[in-house]
A and B are shown apart, each in its own frame.
Chain A
Amino acid sequence: MLLDKPNRSPAELLCALTALNAEYARAIDSGDLEAWPRFFVQSARYAIIPRENAALGLPVALMLCIGTPMMCDRVAAIRRANIFAPHVYRHIVGMSVVLEDSPTVVRTSTNFAVFQTLLDPIDYGKTITYAVGEYQDVIEVAETFRFRERVVITDTAKIPTLLATPI
């Protein structure tokens, strides 16, 4: 399926976006964080912004990566430096709404929920609703789809304990 062709159908596009989000979620949920930056173009911007800030027009992010090197640094810090309770994520990602569709760039909005299951000895196996919100994406359309921008707007402002793993 060549998605960069000018005459792709809306169904083909939705199918490709769904696959992109499913693969993105699977990379994080399976613990393959090293794969996470590969979903982005080199100069991409990734930000997790509480909806509270977004609604007030305030720029502070919970996590901000400008370019894939910063994403790789985030992964390296998670692996080697930061200390947090062992946990896994499970993303449930909704159907994308296509807001803008051009031959090279697609802009979308996609709902998500992330459940966190703790693996520490006290709360072992306990699952909490960790964050819910919306991905606001700008996706470069080529043979492979990659994010030029992924802004994660979290309705969840009150983060349970801490935020280590990207959403």
Chain B
Amino acid sequence: MIAPDAAIATRVPYEVYFDADIYAREQERIFRGPHWTYVALDSELPNPKDFKTSFLGDTPIVVTRAADGELHAFINKCAHRGALVCREPRGNKATHQCVYHQWSYDLAGNLIGVPFRRGIEGKGGYGPDFDTGALGLTKLRVDAYSGLIFVTADPEVESLFDYIGPQMRPWIDRVYRKPTRILGYTRQFVRANWKLYAENIRDPYHASLLHLFHTTFGIYRSSQGGGIILDETGRHSFLRAFKRTEAEETESYKAADLRTYKEEYSLEDPSLLRSRAELTPELTNSIQTIFPGLVLQQIANTLATRQIVPKGPNAYELIFTYFGYADDDDEIAAIRLKQANLVGPGGYISMEDGYATEIVQQGIVEDRSGASFMELGGTTNESDENLITEASLRAFWTYYNRLMDIHAA
């Protein structure tokens, strides 16, 4: 048996992607453990009494804004018999009532109403020691950073500010520099383990090799400049790409003779890619991940969060929340909608991601002795000024294994 930390990062045993026991342990140690999970944007809950349902791993939760403007979050499970209390995805309510026996709760999750508590005509009901104070919904800690709302089930975990950390905060601030406006949602259900997507978004190697849209239409070649930034735990990452000069790009592609270097096609309507500079520094793409389930993307002028929601060992759901800024003018609003073609389930440069994770899941089926190979750019896991590296994946797996104690196959 190889020591857990050393080998796991470059040889990830395939069974972590399908084993039901490992999945159950992840729910406990990762999603219900000492981590903050992204659940909403603050502009989704602008008014008192607004609520939104979401997930903490598998667990259904509700995030609410109370009358005083404070955010609250609780597990969406009645304290009485376990029924889902909140049965709508979003809305505005002063109280939340379980339909089964009409137990009702305030916006902080406190139990405030129990029908027939004293019985009828002195018969039935609850005894004198019945304590509504002890029977609320299970409350979660909730906090927001720059407009992103997170929850945690762990009472001890560090503050959200510290959890995001000094390496990641500036990149969130870069995008969340002013109030946002929600533009819409897309969702996709993918038949693969959630960590395959966690890898995918940390993996700059595949960008120009799997996603052929830009290169096919001669928009850019992928030897564009860029790099990765990791936080000190390795669990979060920031991947950025910017344009290099045309000559540099073309030469390195011709030299490599890749199928992705083609010049013969062009878009009939290139307005799709007409962008407007708006963020500093200017980047063509930036993909930031906050462990375990948030991706914050800026691809040209499309801004979105992606929420990775595990749905058992062999499936995950990906929820895109697209946004602009509250003060967007008509031109930038139109650019964002047009460029939404680039991302999401039908995105020109993102539809392949879900599919890539599925073909891995299909390929490794029940292989309990094999492991994936992650040595691109060496075996270390540090920030780097290039994109031909798997350092960010190794960092993810190193951190994961510190939590999960998986041994190499």
Contacts and interface: CB of A to CB of B under 8 A. Distances in A.
Interface of A: 48-50, 52-53, 56, 58-64, 66-67, 69-70, 72-73, 76-77, 80-85, 122, 157-164
Contact of A77 (B216, B322, B337): B216
A102 B274 CA distance: 37
B216 A162 contact: no
Given A70-B268, A77-B216, A161-B358, A83 B352 contact: yes
Contacts of A69: 267-269
Contact of A64 (B185, B265, B338): B338
A53 B185 contact: yes
Contacts of A52: 89, 185
Interface residues of B, number: 37
Contact of B346 (A66, A70, A164): A164
Interface in B336-395: 337-338, 340-341, 344-346, 348, 351-352, 354-355, 358, 362
A78 to B, nearest CB: 10
Nearest to A156: B187
B186 interface: yes
Contacts of B185: 50, 52-53, 58, 60, 157
Nearest to B260: A81
B351 A59 contact: no
B183 A159 contact: no
A157 B351 contact: no
Contact of B272 (A70, A84, A159): A70
A117 to B, nearest CB: 16
A63 B345 CA distance: 9
A160 B189 contact: yes
B299 interface: no
Contacts of A58: 182-185
Given A60-B185, A64-B337, A81-B216, A162 B268 contact: no
Given A58-B183, A163-B345, A158 B267 contact: no
22 contacts: A50-B185, A59-B337, A60-B183, A60-B184, A60-B344, A62-B344, A62-B346, A63-B346, A69-B268, A70-B272, A73-B269, A82-B351, A85-B358, A157-B187, A158-B187, A158-B317, A159-B186, A159-B188, A159-B345, A160-B189, A161-B188, A162-B188
Interface in B162-189: 182-189
Contacts of B346: 48, 62-63, 159, 162-164
Q: Say what secondary structure dominates the interface of chain B.
A: mixed
Nearest to B361: A122
Interface of B: 89, 182-191, 210, 212-213, 216-217, 265, 267-269, 272, 317, 322, 337-338, 340-341, 344-346, 348, 351-352, 354-355, 358, 362
Contacts of B348: 77, 81-82
A60 B190 contact: no
Nearest to B216: A81
A73 B217 CA distance: 10
Pairs A-B, 9 closest by C-beta atoms: A60-B184, A163-B346, A69-B268, A58-B184, A69-B269, A81-B216, A159-B345, A53-B184, A162-B351
Given A48-B346, A82-B213, A62 B268 contact: no
B362 A122 contact: yes
Given A59-B183, A157-B187, A82 B268 contact: no
Given A52-B185, A58-B182, A70 B269 contact: yes
B351 A84 contact: yes
Contacts of A158: 187-189, 317
Given A58-B182, A157-B186, A158-B317, 14 more contacts: A53-B184, A56-B184, A60-B337, A67-B269, A70-B272, A82-B213, A82-B352, A157-B187, A159-B186, A159-B188, A161-B191, A161-B358, A162-B345, A164-B351
B265 A161 contact: no
Nearest to B351: A162
B10 to A, nearest CB: 26
A157 B344 CA distance: 12
Contact of A62 (B345, B352, B358): B345
Contacts of B184: 49-50, 53, 56, 58-61
